Amino acid sequence: MPGGRDHRHGLRTGTDTGGLTGRAPPPPRTTGAAAPARTVVARYASRVTEHPGTREKPFLYVVVCAAGIAAGVSKLITAAQERDWEVGVIATPAAMNGFFDSAAVAAQTGRVVRSAWRSPADPRPFPPPDAVVVAPATFNTVNKWAAGIADTLALGTLCEAAGLGVPVAVLPCVAGALAAHPAYRDSLARLRGMGVRFGDPYSGEPGPDGSRPEFAWTMALDLLERP
């Protein structure tokens, strides 16, 4: 973990999803309840109060999935940094296969892009998150996450984040035919019931004039700030 961080914010014994807090999880939310409106601000304020001087800015995890639009993730990172977030990127293994420029993202954030579990002897490269953004979020990731499958670092991080009360915002990038699948609709309902916030649907499919709409990267940050 970088110098100056509070080393008590480790993971629970037996897990490593990249630096999530090791505190006991909050009581489960009632199905259908939204995330508390003050979660992001309160979470960061609480950490600063408890450990003054340990962190100057709130820390945002950006989880990147394998969709063509992922090539533009630097836009989200820039917007987050302009809103005074520090950023660390976690990618699915498929996304690391040329879907975005991981070297450029590492240079932009000042931190290596993570996609694999670290070895027990390796230091934790990221501090605990104050919030998580999943952008773009694919059909596969949304369904596996909702089912509690944690077979990659990205999915493990997401599965643990919601249970620990870390605010999560999602920008889906799912083709219309896949979005119509009952399993996907069920997954959205389950994740929303856990307090996960979703942006507008985005299929990436061209319109009648052949052009594709812009992907609303900054909407993820707006979702986190929304009461």
Whose CA is closest to 22, among 7, 13, 30, 12? 12
pLDDT at 49 over 90: no
* CATH number assigned to the domain covering 60-115+128-205+212-225: 3.40.50.1950
Tell me the per-residue pLDDT of 89-110, one tens digit each, with 9 for 90 and over.
999 999 999 999 999 999 999 9
In the prediction, which pLDDT does 210 show?
Answer: 80
pLDDT at 192 over 90: yes
Answer for the pair 131, 226: CB distance below 8 angstroms, yes or no: no
Answer for the pair 91, 137: CB distance below 8 angstroms, yes or no: no
In the prediction, which pLDDT does 211 show?
Answer: 85
Tell me the per-residue pLDDT of 63-88, one tens digit each, with 9 for 90 and over.
999 999 999 999 999 999 999 999 99
Domain ranges within the chain, ordered by starting residue: 60-115+128-205+212-225
Whose CA is closest to 130, among 35, 30, 198? 35
Question: Which residues have a Cβ under 8 Å from the Cβ of 131 and sit 6 or more positions away?
Answer: 40, 43, 58, 60, 61, 166, 167, 168, 169, 224
Report the C-alpha gap between 60 and 134 in whole angstroms.
Answer: 11
Report the C-alpha gap between 32 and 148 in whole angstroms.
Answer: 17
In the prediction, which pLDDT does 54 show?
Answer: 52
Per the document, the length of the chain is 227
Tell me the per-residue pLDDT of 135-184, one tens digit each, with 9 for 90 and over.
999 999 999 999 999 999 999 999 999 789 999 999 999 999 999 999 99
pLDDT band with cut points at 50, 70 and 90 for residue 227: confident
Mean pLDDT of the chain: 83
Whose CA is closest to 67, among 208, 159, 191, 172? 172
pLDDT at 15 over 70: no
Whose CA is closest to 70, among 227, 217, 208? 217
Element (H, E) at 135: strand 131-137
